[in-house]
Homo-oligomer: A and B are copies of this chain.
Amino acid sequence: MEFTDVVDARRSVHDYADEDLDRETIEAIVEAATTMPSSYNLQPWEFLVLTEDADRERLREVAYGQAHVTDAPVAVVVLGNLDPAAHVDRVLDDQVEKGYRDEAGAAAARETIVGMREYPTAERRVWAAKSTSLAAMGLMLAARDRGVATCPIGGFDPEALHEAFDVPDGYEPVMLVTMGYPAADAADEERPRKLRRPVSEVVHYGSFDPDGGADGADGALAGTEATTDD
């Protein structure tokens, strides 16, 4: 599909057709997700893919009973690795080999990355959430490109999820994503897209005033500080 058509067509879909996704399709979608960028290219992501009904039943329980977790043929738990240095050696060796860094640059990066292990857990959680969410967005768009609908889910009990799937402590469940072909009459695809805050409100040129965007949306802000650089 054209990129713009993928973006226009993507919705968070709750109604799925009674049709499985084959592993080839699932893995092609994940492969596209893995091409997304990440901090230092460290790729702190893992994809726990649940295709068995019993597994998605367990996931639904930790996701406060949300029905689309079991209605979709596939649910993916996108996990973030809280150890920034987990893949540091091969990631940096690769960058030296391909000319992205010289040896000195790689050594400095390695020192920084290994040092990040000492960051407070709160910082490493934010760090992992960012790179992992970039991949999750790639996953959802790549799915839509193949006619596969998705729904990201942030509402779940992380501790219960750790327990239900024996996820080690060093990994954070960042997001769940249901995946499957949409039902023919999926309401989410037929309704108008949900409201989006307009560009004029969310874009701020040069300085940021939370009460107004480029065009002074959300109030009469022409001439205020937020717009002086416009």
Residues of A within 8 A of B (CB): 1-8, 10, 12, 26-27, 30-32, 34-37, 39, 41, 43, 45-52, 55, 77, 79, 81, 87, 90-91, 94-95, 98-100, 122, 125-127, 129-131, 133-134, 136-138, 140-142, 145, 152, 154, 165-168, 170-171, 174-175, 187-188, 191-197, 199, 202-208, 210, 213-214, 229
Contact = CB atoms under 8 A, between A and B. Distances in A.
Tell me the number of copies of this protein.
2
Contact of A2 (B1, B10, B194, B229): B1
A123 to B, nearest CB: 9
A202 B94 contact: no
Contacts of A205: 49-51
Contact of A199 (B10, B27, B138): B27
Can you list the 10 inter-chain pairs with the closest CB atoms, starting with the nearest?
A133-B133, A137-B137, A94-B195, A3-B145, A122-B122, A129-B129, A134-B137, A3-B6, A48-B208, A130-B133
Given A3-B3, A171-B208, 19 more contacts: A3-B142, A7-B35, A7-B138, A27-B203, A35-B193, A41-B195, A43-B196, A45-B202, A46-B202, A46-B213, A47-B204, A100-B191, A100-B194, A129-B133, A130-B175, A131-B133, A134-B136, A137-B138, A138-B141
